Amino acid sequence: MTQLKARSVPPRIEWQLAQQGLHPLLARLYAARGIKTRSELDYELKSLLPPALLTHADDAAVLLADAIEAQARILIVADYDCDGATACAVGIRALRAMAGESYANSGAAIDYLVPNRFTYGYGLSPQIVDLAATMTPDLIVTVDNGIASIEGVARATELGIAVLITDHHLPAETLPAADCIVNPNQPGCDFPSKCIAGVGVMFYVMLALRAELRSRGWFGEGVKEPNLGALLDLVALGTVADVVALDRNNRILVNQGLKRMREGKLTPGIAAIFRAAGRDPAKATSVDLGFIVGPRLNAAGRLADMSLGIEGLITDDPTRALAIAQQLDALNRERKDIESGMQDQALILLETLETSDGAGVALFDPDWHQGVIGILASRIKEKLHRPVFAFARGENGEIKGSGRSIAGLHLKDALDLIAKRAPGLLLRFGGHAMAAGATLLESDFERFSELFAGIVDELLSPADRTRTLETDGRLEAAYVSIKTVQLLENEVWGQGFPAPIFEDEFVVENQRILKEKHLKLRLRKGEQRLEAIQFNFSESPGATIRAAYRLTINDYNGVQTPQLMIEHLETVK
């Protein structure tokens, strides 16, 4: 069951924001999201937190500047998701620009390595270091990974390779013995934006490096000082796609990246993905980054090799960028087909489970694809509103699982309890509150499934088992317009700063099913008639409904009309 709950709007704050010049609707929406003054919505670059606040960013800059001056070989080891790919692209583009052409002509190299996730797993493992060593680097720079890579850093040290870790994931009690670690979540770092993405951390390190090289008099006729603002489209993409909370600093990064996209100042690779997806970057929104561009880039890491995505982001050849974007688009379609088939199998499997009424669900099928189990777990979690683990077959009798949780259950804590109650059951595990991974023997799946269901039952309160959808209340009839959609799309929304969802009661005048799975409605509210659509609907509505919806634009044969995108509906009578 889903409960609709309208966000609280402090009336005095709403009034103050309107008095400060905000549109009345935006004043209401922002007041409900904790904004108190219009200055908090100042997204100019000058408002960014300074790099000096990020612990060891200056040390990283010195390490990198020394390497550039010494014409050392620098190798970026990237993660295989969109955040890791964009962070790698930011590093490659910025380092090569700051090193200059003479650097490459000297025989030194600034290169990258993104290990195959199915072969090497996650992080800077000793095996990945050995692979990296074949490229003879003097310095390894991790992006979006490395904070847990104690053994990998030790192996690099053994081989005489320096290591700079840039990451944003939560560290364990013991940190790797790297030459330098830049991570806002490491002990002793007071950087206010703890939720910055991996690409944001790398961008900050590049800002610090540019300042360090500037102080050394590095830039001049031989090497032109780069405009790092040109990389903000990459930063915005990685930030939104990694679903990190959009605090003010992250909103500045996303806003500036979207601004560049709308002005046509895109990295060729991102421009090509927009084109391959049939989207106009001049109208780019955070939704485009999270649901159109990001998934196409992620498809490379899920089904193939993220090197394909990174190559698309670092090339300056529009023709090559488009060819890669078309491959990514094809991979994304393949990913959708695989995911759809797996989801159908999972729902059938759920019907046969005796524990289907339990609070936690674990699913396994030997034919499922490792690259898609995370998405599958997320989809089933959304459908059931329960913590879910989905497993696929690995090697040597192992299965690898990806889990997704709901509010009220810390998934990593649940795995910790399993490890304590059944020592040796989990071969490897890690993660966060809402997402985690685990590896175990296929023969132990049933045992894991029972333990997981039991522990979730213990930890998850009855109140948290009811889905609550927060809304922004009713939308006045005068605001149901194309102009309002455009007003809202120009703002920055995302994780922790959700896009507006409104709720109201409507009379259903007409309904029909599209493509056997989407519900098309004509609704009436007073004298106003509205078109609405609900994707992947589960049940037909009655004569009167209560609906939670987003306001969108329906573009049919060049004619644009406002449309309600239904997120949830329930029959009133």
| Mean of pLDDT values over 248-266 | 97
How far, in Å, CA of 189 to CA of 184, rounded?
A: 6
Confidence of residue 350 (pLDDT cuts 50, 70, 90): confident
DSSP state of 534: E
Q: What is the widest separation between alpha-carbon atoms in the chain?
A: 76
Residue with tokens 């998850």: 460
**Residues 201-223, buried b or exposed e (16+ Cβ, 10 A)?**
bbbbbbbbbbbbbeeeebeeeeb
Q: Which distant-in-sequence residues (6+ apart) come within 8 Å of 524 by Cβ?
A: 506, 507, 509, 530
Given a cut of 50, whether residue 335 has pLDDT beyond it is yes
- Count CB-CB contacts under 10 A for residue 355: 16
Helices (H) and strands (E) in the chain, counts: 20, 17
| Mean of pLDDT values over 400-413 | 91
- Count CB-CB contacts under 10 A for residue 534: 21
CATH of the domain at 503: 2.40.50.460
User: Domain boundary at 410, 441, 465, which?
Assistant: 465
| Mean of pLDDT values over 236-265 | 96
Measured in degrees and rounded to the nearest 5, phi and psi for residue 326 equal: -70, -35
Question: According to the model, what pLDDT value does residue 432 have?
Answer: 78
| Mean of pLDDT values over 437-466 | 92
As a whole-number percent, the residues of the chain with pLDDT over 70 amount to 98
How far, in Å, CA of 517 to CA of 468, rounded?
A: 24
Q: Are residues 501 and 524 in the same domain?
A: yes
Q: Which distant-in-sequence residues (6+ apart) come within 8 Å of 545 by Cβ?
A: 505, 506, 508, 523, 569, 570, 571, 572
Structure token digits, residue 16: 């103050």
| Mean of pLDDT values over 384-408 | 93
Domain interval for residue 489: 469-571
Closest by Cα among 205, 182, 267, 201 to 231: 267
Is 317 a domain residue? yes
Residue with tokens 């060729």: 268
Question: According to the model, what pLDDT value does residue 355 have?
Answer: 46
Closest by Cα among 482, 483, 560 to 23: 483
Residue with tokens 């084109």: 275
Closest by Cα among 392, 394, 429, 398 to 414: 429
How far, in Å, CA of 536 to CA of 382, rounded?
A: 12
Q: Are residues 218 and 289 in the same domain?
A: yes
Structural domain count, the chain: 3
Is 3 a domain residue? no
Is 30 a domain residue? no
Q: Are residues 399 and 520 in the same domain?
A: no
pLDDT tens for 163-205 read 999 999 988 889 999 999 999 999 999 999 999 999 999 999 9
Closest by Cα among 557, 552, 534, 549 to 482: 552
How far, in Å, CA of 41 to CA of 216, rounded?
A: 36
Q: Which distant-in-sequence residues (6+ apart) come within 8 Å of 379 by Cβ?
A: 339, 343
Q: Are residues 424 and 540 in the same domain?
A: no
- Count CB-CB contacts under 10 A for residue 318: 13
CB 283 within 8 A of CB 262: yes
Given a cut of 80, whether residue 247 has pLDDT beyond it is yes
- Count CB-CB contacts under 10 A for residue 95: 23
For residue 17, CA distances in Å to 43, 124, 570 come to 16, 47, 34
User: Domain boundary at 412, 442, 465, which?
Assistant: 465
Is 37 a domain residue? no
CB 182 within 8 A of CB 55: yes
Least confident of 14-23, 107-116, 281-290, 360-369: 107-116
Closest by Cα among 204, 125, 140 to 168: 204
User: Domain boundary at 407, 437, 465, which?
Assistant: 465
Strands 361-364 and 388-393: parallel
CATH of the domain at 154: 3.90.1640.30
Structure token digits, residue 52: 């000096």
Q: Are residues 282 and 406 in the same domain?
A: no
Q: Are residues 193 and 255 in the same domain?
A: yes
Q: Are residues 257 and 389 in the same domain?
A: no
How far, in Å, CA of 85 to CA of 96, rounded?
A: 16
| Mean of pLDDT values over 437-451 | 95
Is 56 a domain residue? yes
For residue 81, CA distances in Å to 211, 298, 357, 359, 371 come to 29, 5, 33, 29, 11
Structure token digits, residue 171: 């560290």
| Mean of pLDDT values over 474-482 | 95
Measured in degrees and rounded to the nearest 5, phi and psi for residue 170 equal: -70, 135
Question: According to the model, what pLDDT value does residue 357 have?
Answer: 57
CATH of the domain at 371: 3.10.310.30
Closest by Cα among 333, 433, 353, 445 to 390: 445
**Amino acid at position 360, single letter:** G
Q: Are residues 282 and 240 in the same domain?
A: yes
Is 298 a domain residue? yes
**Residues 271-304, buried b or exposed e (16+ Cβ, 10 A)?**
bbbbbbbeeebeebbbebbbebbbbbbbbbbbbb
DSSP state of 516: T
Q: Are residues 455 and 550 in the same domain?
A: no
Confidence of residue 440 (pLDDT cuts 50, 70, 90): very high
Q: Are residues 448 and 523 in the same domain?
A: no
SS3 237: helix
Q: Are residues 278 and 365 in the same domain?
A: no
Is 335 a domain residue? no
How far, in Å, CA of 432 to CA of 194, rounded?
A: 14
Q: Are residues 435 and 489 in the same domain?
A: no
Residue with tokens 């090339």: 315
Confidence of residue 139 (pLDDT cuts 50, 70, 90): very high
Is 339 a domain residue? no
Strands 559-571 and 528-534: parallel
